Structure formats: structure tokens, C-alpha cells
Amino acid sequence: MGLKDFVVAAMASVLVAVATKTLAITLAKSGCPGYCGNVAIPYPFGTSPDCFRNENFRITCNNSFNPPKPYLRDSNIDFTNISIDGELQIPNFVARDCFRKNESEDQNQPTLTLSDLTISSTKNVFTVIGCDSYAYIQGYIDDQRYSSGCMSLCDSSKYVKDGSCIGSGCCQIEIPRGLSEINITAYSFNNHVNVSDFNPCTYAFVVDKSSFTFKRSYLDTLPKELPVVLEWTVTGEGNCTEASSKPYYACKENSECYEPDNGSGYLCKCKKGYQGNPYLSNGCEDINECNEPNLNNCEQKCDNTEGSYTCSCYKGYHLTDGGKHGPRCVPNVPNQFPVIKVALSVGVSFLVLFVSIPWLYLVLKKRKHIKLKEKFFQQNGGFLLQKELSKRTGSFDKAKFKIFTEEELKKATSNFSEDRIVGRGGYGTVYKGFLTKDNPVAIKKSKIVDQNKIEQFINEIAVLSQINHINVVRLLGCCLETEVPLLVYEFISNGTLSEHIHNKDKATSLSGERRLKIASETAGVLSHLHSASTTIIHRDVKSANILLDDEYNAKMSDFGASKLVPMNVTQLSTMVQGTFGYLDPEYFQTGQLTEKSDVYSFGVVLVELLTGKKAVLFDKSEGDQISLVTYFLSSMEENRLFQILENHIVNDENKEQLRQMAELAKRCLSVKGEERPGMREVAMELHELRMMHKHPWDSAMIPEETESFLFGTSGACRSGDDRIIIAGYDSIKARAVAFDVDAR
């Protein structure tokens, strides 16, 4: 850069800085200080008498700091930014619970109490950082108490990724609307004993999510304060309708009133075409759109008007409607001889007709194709899907779910080529596709559409859209504009659990330890589904619906038969549905569906893992089929367990472990549902069996009278009317933890 360029750039920077400062000062009341230190103070806020709207907006400028700091009224809350859009940003303390070597425990418990302010639910998230960590946040919404929690675990920092807060090293959950007081407490499960080399502390805090990105280095050190966004409104005057009739109405000329999402008070904003401070008399000034090319779409001349602008043309041109491109200036056409006009008109007409015929054919063909797509969309349940998803907007992540076009999926599968087929079944065909070079997906193409099963197909989408769990096959999107509906899933590369158990070439790859891991992860998924706010009963749990990735992690799939059970409903009367050999006999006889039906089916899968046999066996001596459950239970009664187990999974070290698995399976297969354990208890027992195998000394340290957390990505525990939600963890050592939800 030359000297001249440098001088020009420097002058531009100075002018921008001056303009910014001027804008901030004009937002303050005339004759009032526009800044406290580096923070702009816009009206209705102010630092001296007659400079603020009322006592709620008084700012104390503390000049003992350099630069000075602004505080709300006489509080100890200092601000780093105040916006007339109803937002304030403050630095807030981070809760911590540290166990550094050769030091005593270092713990703090920050509290933030607000009077006329609330914590923004859209701008902030509650975050917990650590590898042996959990924390909870408590507060008040109006007069109702609120409690929620988050858990973060990891055995090694190598499993922690920058920018990822899904439970491994970092956990995040949303906060509710209208929270005006918070108390945050951080804890450690095991005093960070096993992770102290890289993570000596648990950190917990509410933070402005636009200002915070998780880094692996935060496991060791984190700033003591982080930014939080608060929301303010004009309160005590009712809503917009009520306040507009009062003499002290806050919204001035050329402004309009609106009510924020937190449901308290109102705010003002300048009308379209104006800018400035809507709380000051004549504070909203007209924007001269003609001075800014990006604010008008005039081609030749622009004329500014109050709150808008108009376009005009130079002499010799006239203005026409340019459609989406805006008004256009076209030359005036002089008069020509009548004969020439007629000749030109006829010639142009023939030319237009000649060009229009093939164009019209293409338009009609395209319109017919569009109507056909609309017909398929309707008959494949498109409107039913929209209705279902609109009911679940709180849990459905539109950014991760895509409605694919037929062309996109044809391209991904080489026009559904035969060599892309990876599975066939009674439901249809599964293709392996590539949305991008390194992004494989599984595309499920149903057989000829059965209109009676459209509701089941839409149900599978609605159920999967609510589930966010590491051991559930993730639904990426769907395509409904084809004759048969298509579902797009993440691609799971290692086939089904059924194939690995019953294929002799693959069965040896499933060691006893690996089978226990698969059983534990599957139980964790079902426990998570049963513990959701709206209980999800899978209804078709079987080894063929459990997929395995390259690391033999379990992935639950096929939710087409699943049922959503509202809270406080313990059982449903439904048409019996499931797979022979896995079907709960109590459900089959009564038609009453409960969570224990999944427990029974899982018990069958557990027996498959132990014995390597199919759910339905062929009895050579009788020439008939018998149930694996009957075969297993009779063998248990006759004390022949180790004679029926898969040979290669049994050794001297794991016999007790396998025996306990078998006993658990036996309890799951009780004829009466009330005698079966819940999936939460099953998941906990299987996890303890895994931990006993890895750390046999650990089992002696588990207290007897405690409440253990649910194993999975999320879960919940309740005490009285309070509820603590534990979200974002993949695995947990068998540590029993109890929250005192009544303590503040």
C-alpha cells in the first residue's frame, strides 16, 4: 500500500468512528451525556436527572473505574452494551467446582437477581464444561420456581471437539422465557480424580451464545466472567393497546409499538423508512433512500419522500413496471408510418407464434409434471406431515431436516441403480447414496404405496424428528413428490445386529464384551424414549432393527410402528403390532400397550445376544417351530444356562457377568408386565455390569440408597413439583447421584 492509499484509508477510518460516535450521542436525550465510559447510554436510559424516562431506567456511572462503568440504578450490575431494541449485555460470573492437586476444593455459586429485567431465552444458553461434571440452574419465572440441569462426561480429552457441546466435554441446554433470577451450582461426580490431568474443574454458566464458542482448552482454564444478554421493556403501563391511550406513552412520532416474546410490557421501534430513537420526540428521522444506492431500486432519478421514495426518468424516457427488478426507464418510441407499423406488427405476431408453440408445449408439460408432484405429495401424506411437524416445533430442528427433490435423490443414487442397493425387505428397498462425495446416506424406498399405511409412514417421520440420541439412526429428510415416498437416513455401514448374531462368519466378531456394550446402548436408547416428556414406545424392538456402525455402536432404527404416549397416560389400547417371536404376550392378549412391551422385546434381543439363536427355532425332533423364549426359560429352570450360551463368548472371567445378564433377561421376559423391570433399571444394571468388568474395584464404591441418572443422551429425574432435566451425555460411570432440588 502506498502513502497516498494509507492516508485515504486512515481518514476513512476516522470518519467512520466520528459518524458512529455521533449516532450514539443522538440516541441520548438532548443535553444529556451520551456515554458512560465506552458504553453508549440511549434514552429512555440516562445518567443524570431529567435524562431518563423514570427511575427504572436510571444509570449510575461509576467514575472510580478507568474507563467508568455504568450500573443499573444502585445495583452491582454493570453493563457492556445497552440497545434500544430491548437488550442489555452484562458480564456474569462462572460457577466452578475445582479439585486441583495439593489444593483444597475451590467452589463458588453465582446468583443473579433481576427486578424489571429478564434473561433472554433466545440469545443465551446454559452451559456446563468438564469431563466429570454436572450442574444445575435454578430460578423463578414470575412466582413459579424453575430447575434444570446438564451433564458433561469424557474419559479423555481426545474425544472432545472444539465447537461441540453435545455432552462430551461440554453440554448445553436452552433456558425458558421470562427467567428473572438464577442460581447456578457446579458439581463433580468423582472430584475429577480420573481426569484431573486435563480437567480439574467443573464450570457452569449462562452465556450469550453468539459470543461463546466452546474450545477444548476450556477444560483446563475458563475466564471468570462471560457475557449474558438481558431483556428490558417499558413496564407498568400495560400492553401496546393499553399504553397508547395514556399521556406518558413511550412511543413518539413516526414510531410503532410492539410486544416482545417475554410477554411483559412493550417496546418501540421506528417505522419503515425511518431511523433513530423511537423514545425521543422527533427521534425517528426520515431515511434518505436516494443517498444510498442499496436502499432504492431507481434506474435514473430518485426523489426522496417522507418515509419512502419515488423513481422518475430523464427527458425522452418513461417509467415502466420492471417486476421483481423494480421500475425501469425505457425510451419513448416516435410515431412511424401506418403501413410500416402494420407490417412490423404482422411480422412480430408470426414470429411470436412460431416461438410460442414449442414454448407453450414445454410450459404445459412442466405444469403437468408439477401437478403430478403435487398429487404425489398429497397422497404420500405431505399435508399430514406438515400438520404433525407443526405440533412439534419445539423439538423439531428444521436446520437438520430437509425436504429433498426427486432430482437430488436420483443424482445421489445414480438414478436408483441396482448396484446401489444395500438391502431389500417386505417394506421395500434401501439404496446407498452420496449427497456429496464424502457424505453417504441410506435412502429407504417403499414398495407400491399402501394408502392404509400412510399414517404409519408419517408417524415414523414425526417420531424420529423428536429424537436426538447418539444411538438412534438420524433422519436427514424425506421426499414426497415421487410415486412412492422416500426417507433419507444417515448411512450405518456395518449392517444389522441380526446379521452379526446369526451369520457364522460375522458372529465371531461379537465378543462377550462387545455384546454387552450393544445391549447397554440399546437399553439406554429405549430408556431415553420412555423417559421423554411425551413417552415414545418403539413397539418393534428386534435385532433386525438395531444397526451397527464401524465401531460396533448400536443404532436403533425403524420407528414406523412407534407410539407417542402423552404424560399421565400409563397404557394405550391399540391394534396389536410387532414381530412374531418378540411380541409381548400380555399386549397380544389384551391389546393394552405399555412401556413394558418394549422391555419384553428387549429381553428377547438379550437372549439372542447370549445364545446366538433366532427368536423362533426349528425343533428337528418335533418338526415344528418353538419360541426362543420358551427354550431359554426352560433351560434356566433346568440350570443349563452355560450349555445354551454362544460358545466363543464364555470364559472363566465373565461367567458371573453372563449369568447376571441371563437373570436380567429372565426378568424382562416375565409374562406379567408389572413384574418386568423398567428400561431405566435395565439400562442401569447393564451399565453396572460393564463397569464391573472394566473396573471390578469400582462396584464397592456405589452407595445403596441413591438415585442414579438415566444412561443415554438425555433423561429426567423428578422430586415433587420440581423437575431437573439432564441433557447431553453419551455414557456415565455407575455413580449414583441425588439432586437436592429444593435447595437454593
Residues acting as catalytic residues: 540
Q: How far apart are CA 269 and CA 292, in angstroms?
A: 21
User: Which amino acid is residue 647, in one-letter code?
Assistant: N
Closest CA to 279 of 218, 345, 234, 333: 234
Q: How far apart are CA 726 and CA 261, in angstroms?
A: 26
Q: Is 484 exposed, middle or buried (0-12, 13-18, 19+ CB in 10 A)?
A: middle
Contact 522, 679 (CB under 8 A): no
CB neighbours of 77 closer than 8 A, spacing ≥ 6?
71, 90, 112, 114
* The three grid cell numbers given for residue 156, joined into one nine-digit string: 479423555
Residue 543 CA, chain-centre distance (Å), reads 28
Q: How far apart are CA 149 and CA 52, in angstroms?
A: 39
Q: How far apart are CA 610 and CA 512, in angstroms?
A: 8
Angle, helix 679-694 to helix 512-531, in steps of 10 degrees? 150
Q: How far apart are CA 599 and CA 595, in angstroms?
A: 7
Buried-state track 710-741, b at ≥16 Cβ within 10 A, e below 16: bbbbbbbbeeeeeebbbbbbbbbbbbebebeb
* The three grid cell numbers given for residue 537, joined into one nine-digit string: 414406545
Strands 201-208 and 144-153: unpaired
Q: How far apart are CA 280 and CA 31, in angstroms?
A: 13
Phi, psi angles (nearest 5°) of residue 294:
-80, -5
Phi, psi angles (nearest 5°) of residue 105:
-60, 135
Q: Is 655 exposed, middle or buried (0-12, 13-18, 19+ CB in 10 A)?
A: middle
Q: How far apart are CA 714 and CA 360, in angstroms?
A: 57
Place of cell 417420531: 463
SS3 at position 14? helix
Closest CA to 162 of 214, 124, 112: 214
User: Which amino acid is residue 490, in one-letter code?
Assistant: E
C-alpha count within 13 angstroms, C-beta hemisphere, residue 302: 16
Closest CA to 726 of 527, 568, 539, 536: 527
Q: For 309, which DSSP code?
A: E
Q: How far apart are CA 33 and CA 28, in angstroms?
A: 7
Rounded alpha-carbon distances, angstroms, from residue 149 to 309, 314, 364, 526, 723: 53, 67, 58, 21, 9
Contact 36, 68 (CB under 8 A): yes
